[in-house]
């Protein structure tokens, strides 16, 4: 099929590359000319496992092209996917202006029947609004379909190629059938393609993200309760997660969720609820717990150093919002770095993929180190904010030797309490007893 993907960010680029890999002819379109230039020069502008290889393979086959020229992008597509950002407005609602602007351009360009499929996360009723926009500008049949994306950064390519399910929300049976056929190569392991109403599909994506965020905020609240009552949350987590009705996924306490999805999607859904006259008590609580959780490590650090952080140096391992990505959007590490800098502390950072983006944000205010132990040199404490695999089994003796003070604040509960004691490291995890605590 001839496919155009509007937006070549985390979702658009992965979707375009995966769709090209099954034989479709794909054009990736973006208003960011710099990004398109880099893509056309064979560069992968984001870090996502397996993506660079997929892009290179598809570029060779000629099935995946990139353009910043709207005429070229919309010459004769059968399906146009929208993977444009939907950032939060100050009131928490999703900013759909870029999507609507693109829909107008689409209506002005296409000359034959076209399916407009939204991969972007959009509030219920957005498909109806898109339909009104395109129908107001053209007589060419454009079928608006919702096809929310469930990929996770860090395993996006694999998630797209082997989804748990594909959701298609369509009011037109033929359009639904086209989307179904397009996705068949990705569900050969018998995962379902769920066809539903467009509005239900839009709601499903928000409900799924809000549910996952709720689990995280729930276990974080329990972790704080454990901290206050001298209970080890790890024991509680095991006791809960082994219940098959509960399970372990998204039940890991930490320093809060970040990223470009959970924070904004929970708020956008709460906004939809308010507009519909419903008080989103739970969604607001999920959001507020998470906001507070991003301060928990800071509070522990202040308490440990008696509120005197100036002249201290903190080494960060991990600054991205999750492992296996270079994405810093809403990352808990950024809030902590801001707080420490404001208190006059020095920050040194190591991250396997996020340093370039960190430099772009902080310039010289944070020193960046490609080598993890180099970041520890002269630091009064290590702060772990992202659970990258390579941080799980470090050389503890070398850590102790390199740090000025052998103290670890762990926002991801990576280390074993016994190992911390054995290596003489003072350890401050979340919801677990502090080891070697000299209050
Ligand atoms: P992103 O910021 O990485 O990419 C968005 C891209 O859209 C950018 O390259 C931007 O230049 C481009 N763009 C903006 N306006 C445009 C226009 N008018 N025409 C063409 N391109 C335009 O965003 P993302 O993380 O890929 O997310 C995109 C959407 O997918 C959002 O709605 C997000 O909520 C949703 N989503 C994201 C993820 C994820 O893990 N990142 C997962 C599922 C769904």
What confidence tens digit (pLDDT) does each residue in 387-432 have? Answer: 999 999 999 999 999 999 999 999 999 999 999 999 999 999 999 9
User: Residue 435 in contact with residue 420, Cβ under 8 Å?
Assistant: yes
Q: How many CB atoms lie within 10 A of CB 69?
A: 12
d(CA 434, CA 438): 9
Predicted model pTM: 0.96
**25-to-80, 219, 393, 415 alpha-carbon distances in Å:** 12, 44, 44, 47
Token pair belonging to 398: 């070398």
Q: Which of 260, 266, 320, 329 to mutate to test the pocket of ligand 1 (most atoms within 8 A of CB)?
A: 260
Task: Point out the residues that are catalytic.
Answer: 261
d(CA 98, CA 184): 30
Question: 410 Cβ partners below 8 Å, 6+ apart?
Answer: 383, 384, 427, 428, 429, 430
What confidence tens digit (pLDDT) does each residue in 61-112 have? Answer: 999 999 999 999 999 999 999 999 999 999 999 999 999 999 999 999 999 9
Q: Is the CB of 6 under 6 A from ligand 1?
A: yes
Which residue carries 């740090």 as its tokens? 403
Q: How far is the CA of 276 from the centre of ligand 1 (A)?
A: 26
Token pair belonging to 14: 């992965």
Question: H or E stretch including 67?
Answer: strand 64-67
Q: How confident is the model at residue 17 (pLDDT cuts 50, 70, 90)?
A: very high
Bridge partners, residue 114, by sequence? 142
Q: Is the CB of 210 under 6 A from ligand 1?
A: no
Q: Which of 18, 30, 33, 265 to mutate to test the pocket of ligand 1 (most atoms within 8 A of CB)?
A: 30
Residue 437 pLDDT > 60:
no
Token pair belonging to 254: 């930490």
> SS3 of 56, please?
helix
Q: How many CB atoms lie within 10 A of CB 16?
A: 31
d(CA 125, CA 112): 25
Q: How far is the CA of 211 from the centre of ligand 1 (A)?
A: 22
Q: In what order do the strands lie in the sheet with 142-146?
A: 64-67, 25-29, 2-6, 79-82, 114-118, 142-146, 166-169, 193-196
DSSP label at residue 438: -
In terms of Cβ atoms closer than 10 Å to its own Cβ (0-12, 13-18, 19+), residue 209 is: buried
pLDDT of residue 227: 96
> Which residue segments constitute the domains of the chain, with CATH numbers given?
2-196 (3.40.50.720), 206-293 (1.10.1040.10), 296-428 (3.40.50.720)
């Amino acid at each position: 099929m001839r496919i155009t993907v509007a937006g070549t960010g985390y979702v658009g680029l992965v979707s375009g590359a995966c769709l090209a890999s099954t034989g479709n002819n794909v054009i990736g379109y973006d208003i960011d000319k710099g990004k398109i230039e880099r893509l056309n020069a064979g560069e992968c502008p984001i870090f996502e496992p397996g993506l660079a290889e997929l892009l290179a393979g598809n570029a060779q086959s000629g099935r995946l092209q990139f353009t910043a020229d709207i005429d070229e992008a919309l010459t004769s597509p059968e399906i146009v996917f929208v993977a444009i950002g939907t950032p939060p407005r100050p009131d928490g609602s999703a900013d759909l202006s870029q999507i609507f602007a693109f829909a107008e351009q689409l209506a002005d360009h296409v000359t034959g029947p076209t399916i407009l499929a939204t991969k972007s996360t959009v509030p219920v009723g957005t498909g109806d609004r898109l339909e009104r926009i395109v129908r107001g500008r053209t007589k060419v049949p454009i079928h608006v379909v919702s096809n929310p994306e469930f990929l996770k950064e860090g395993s996006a390519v694999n998630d797209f190629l082997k989804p748990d399910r594909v959701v298609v929300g369509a009011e037109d049976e033929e359009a639904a059938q086209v989307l179904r056929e397009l996705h068949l190569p990705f569900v050969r392991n018998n995962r379902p393609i769920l066809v539903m109403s467009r509005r239900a599909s839009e709601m499903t994506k928000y409900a799924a993200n809000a549910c996952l965020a709720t689990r995280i905020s729930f276990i974080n609240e329990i972790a704080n309760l454990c901290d206050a009552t001298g209970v080890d949350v790890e024991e509680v987590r095991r006791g809960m997660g082994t219940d098959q009705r509960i399970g372990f996924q998204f039940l890991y306490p930490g320093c809060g969720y970040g990223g470009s999805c959970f924070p904004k999607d929970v708020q956008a859904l709460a906004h939809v609820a308010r507009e519909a006259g419903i008080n989103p008590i739970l969604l607001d609580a999920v959001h507020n717990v998470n906001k507070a959780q991003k301060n928990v490590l800071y509070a522990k650090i202040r308490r440990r150093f008696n509120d005197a952080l100036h002249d201290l140096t903190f080494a960060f391992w991990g600054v991205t919002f999750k492992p296996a990505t270079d994405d810093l959007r809403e990352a808990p590490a950024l809030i902590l770095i801001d707080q420490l800098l404001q208190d006059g502390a020095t920050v040194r950072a190591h991250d396997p993929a996020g340093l370039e983006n960190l430099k772009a944000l902080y310039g010289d205010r944070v020193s960046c180190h490609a080598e993890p132990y180099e970041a520890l040199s002269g630091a009064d404490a290590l702060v772990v904010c992202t659970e990258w695999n390579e941080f799980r089994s470090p050389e503890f003796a070398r850590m102790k030797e390199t740090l000025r003070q052998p103290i670890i604040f762990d926002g991801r509960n990576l280390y074993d309490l016994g190992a911390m004691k054995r290596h003489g490291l003072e350890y401050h995890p979340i919801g677990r007893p502090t080891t070697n605590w000299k209050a």
